[in-house]
Structure 1
Amino acid sequence: MVVRREKKSRKLRGSRTMGWGIRGQHRDRGAQGSRQIGMHKEKWSWLVKYGKGWYGKHGFRNPTTKLVSTISLRRLNELLINGSIKLEEKDGKKVLDLNQLGYEKLLGGGNLSIAVVIKVKKASAKAVEKVKQIGGEVILSPTE
């Protein structure tokens, strides 16, 4: 550290605040570190307002887990009845491409009320069986 040859107070006589600003005058402790320091003390008001879930354990995400977007027959039936999903007509059959809608797998929970040809990457055995029972078909497209 450099040694101050002359005292600062000798240089700044007549300046009232002596170079320490108009509010604190060298009384407080400053910012006290980065965002994570002092959260239970001087930065508590910030934490209450913005830092929900700051303290405590929060688990971890397994990096090997692959998330697959799925849809059940129950949900698919609701969307078909509501008219949220439009069916295409090909060769007198109603065709539905779940790959275009962003779904990767068809699950067998619930039932379908309409006989539909469904194109999807994956489907459970139960889902395939239920669709065949009502006169539909599941076409499994190859995965990229």
Structure 2
Amino acid sequence: MPTRLRKVRKRRGSRTMGWGQIGQHRKTGAKGGRGMAGGHKHKWTKLLKTGYFGKEGFHNPTSKEVHAININELAGLVEKLGGTEINLARMGVDKLIGKGYIDKPVTVIVKSWSKAAEEKINKAGGRIHPPQPQAG
């Protein structure tokens, strides 16, 4: 018994593949309008399913994003840039935290730092201090 062709294979080569005359399966008329057209009519069930309306969650307007960098990332920067002083405050980094290892003595300028980071920098022979306030 010969195998039957699937619908798609059967209609290949027939120009419109069962969608009538030219253009009947194209553009917005076939989709029920542009954009949100029919949002309260024939597209209503789709909107209900997807959770389109309303907000979800909570955004704290007073929270402040802190850009932090680890000791191991700092060691990579020291290798890349060279020198003995690195100004993280000028690079947009707010805090230095203590994950990783550093063996080169380096002076780090940063707004805040963790106790572990300070210990590791001091052990390597470097030091940390906050940025100087700018006059003006």
TM-score band by shorter chain is 0.5 to 0.7
1:123 aligns with 2:113: yes
Give the alignment of 1:67-106 within 5 angstroms. Answer: 67-81=65-79, 83=80, 86-88=81-83, 94-106=84-96
CA contact (8 A) 1:98 1:118 kept: yes
Cα gap change, 1:143/1:121 in structure 2, threshold over 3 Å: closer, same or farther? farther
Unaligned runs of 5+ in 2: 1-28
- Larger strand share, 1 or 2: 1
Give aligned pairs, total: 99
1:121/1:142 contact within 8 Å kept = no
Q: Which runs of 5+ in 1 are unaligned?
A: 1-23, 89-93
Paired amino acid for 1:31: A
In structure 2, distance between residues paired with 1:39 and 1:118: 63
For the pair shown, the structure with the greater C-alpha radius of gyration is 1
What does 1:131-142 correspond to in 2, within 5 Å?
131-141=121-131
Q: Is the 8 A contact 2:78 2:86 kept in 1?
A: no
TM-score normalised by length of structure 1: 0.54
Residue 107 (structure 1) aligned with residue 135 (structure 2)? no
CA shift at 1:78, angstroms?
Answer: 2.6
Give TM-score scaled by structure 2 length.
0.57
